[in-house]
Amino acid sequence: MSSTPQSVRGMQSLLGEEADRFHEVVAAFDRVRRLYGFRRVKVPVLEQTQVFARTMGETTDVVSKEMYSFEDKGGEQVTLRPEFTAGIARAFLSEGWQQHIPLKVATHGPAFRYERPQKGRFRQFHQLDAEIIGPAEPQADIELLAFADQLLKELGLGETAILKLNTLGDPATRAAWRNALHEHFAANVAALSEDSRTRLDRNPLRILDSKAHQDWPIVDSAPTIDEFLTAEAAEFFGELTEGLDRAGVRWERAPRLVRGLDYYRHTAFEFITDTLGAQGTVLAGGRYDGLIETLGGPHTPAVGWAAGIERLAMMIDAPQPERPDAAIVPMGEAAERRAAILIADLRRAGIAADLGLRGNMKKRMQRANASGARFAIIIGDSELEAGEAQLKDLASGEQRAVAFDLLASEIGR
């Protein structure tokens, strides 16, 4: 006998409360998206590998180790998306979306990374994503962060999620800071971890978020970006923080928060919470003014964020399960035939209804109660003869006769 097929490692199937939690996160995202005027957008799950290699950097762990990449039947190198931003940037160029600038878009769906599955992390996971493409002003960053802040509040995480905020400056700032960091870490290279020594020449900024304990004292003594901010970069960050204060978005400065890739500018941020125990990031993003240029497009400022749906779903209160408005309990073949007509009429009238066709009267009523329905509609031979059903309020136990054609209006009151 063949064995039962199992799910691929790192993939998940959801039912019941887990699926309801997932939907609750997506529904809240869609409500807030609409409030902030972000348009829905859909991009393919599959892109040319170069879309991600060029935008995420050939040498990053995601590109070199974690992407699901393969050659398709036409010999083209393709990749299941590990994130949304690169695909949206590609579509912005190839689909002619430049005509819509300033473009505010939001989407959600699956993404894929081949990494070790752990609590709240899967190889197929799901993200919320929001982007503003076109504006170079800090008002766009404020708008995007206010969207994220309100979403977390709607999910009941407003008290625990803290916005950690930093500036990466403009290109001149970043170049000066990078040189100073390289000089600092090079002077301490013997004490650095192996990973940090590898990053030294390639990208010294990434040493700042090293997880190796031996690097932390050296990181703590590293020069901060504030020492190198140009007047323009300082003004941008000042306008951003003042705008967040006016919008009522609580934030904390995180001077070591960085983004390694060169196309990031100015704003970098993460919303951090300890709701799952250890402190973790639930939503993160930044301004990526140089990304679209890496795909061969014109200089196009942009800012965006992404959040993991699974992690958010684990942190929210369990939503109330969906329940039918009415459960129909027919007794006898004639009643079952009439019930089939009735349930179709009720559903067309916007009444959520279920139909119990198995077991005796007692068992069917037990199932009606277990379903959480507000009402049971009981139909037997005498009800058919009278042209009415017994409508039972399952909370109070009150029961009365109601004509078949009036049931929808009675239940919908």
CA neighbor of 307 nearest in space, from 269, 287, 281, 274: 281
Cis ω for the linkage preceding 301 (within 30 of 0): no
- From residue 206, alpha-carbon distances to 203, 211, 250 in Å are 6, 10, 26
Burial class (CB in 10 A: 0-12, 13-18, 19+), 216: exposed
State yes or no: 358 annotated in a binding site: no
Q: For 261, list phi and psi in degrees, rounded to 5.
A: -80, 145
State yes or no: 36 annotated in a binding site: no
Q: Please tell me the distance from the alpha carbon of residue 40 to that of residue 145, in angstroms, as a whole number.
A: 18
Report which DSSP code applies to 226. G
State yes or no: 337 annotated in a binding site: no
State yes or no: 92 annotated in a binding site: no
61-79: buried (b, 16+ CB within 10 Å) or exposed (e) per residue?
ebbeeebbeeeeeeeeebb
How many Cβ atoms are within 10 Å of 187's Cβ, its own excluded?
10
State yes or no: 83 annotated in a binding site: yes
CA neighbor of 276 nearest in space, from 165, 121, 166, 125: 121
State yes or no: 84 annotated in a binding site: yes
Largest CA distance in the chain: 95
Q: Please tell me the distance from the alpha carbon of residue 172 to that of residue 233, in angstroms, as a whole number.
A: 9
State yes or no: 68 annotated in a binding site: no
- From residue 147, alpha-carbon distances to 49, 57, 300, 384 in Å are 31, 28, 22, 55
Q: Please tell me the distance from the alpha carbon of residue 33 to that of residue 29, in angstroms, as a whole number.
A: 6
State yes or no: 22 annotated in a binding site: no
State yes or no: 127 annotated in a binding site: yes
Residues of each annotated binding site: 83-85, 113, 127, 131, 259, 263-264
Residues of each annotated binding site for L-histidine: 83-85, 113, 127, 131, 259, 263-264
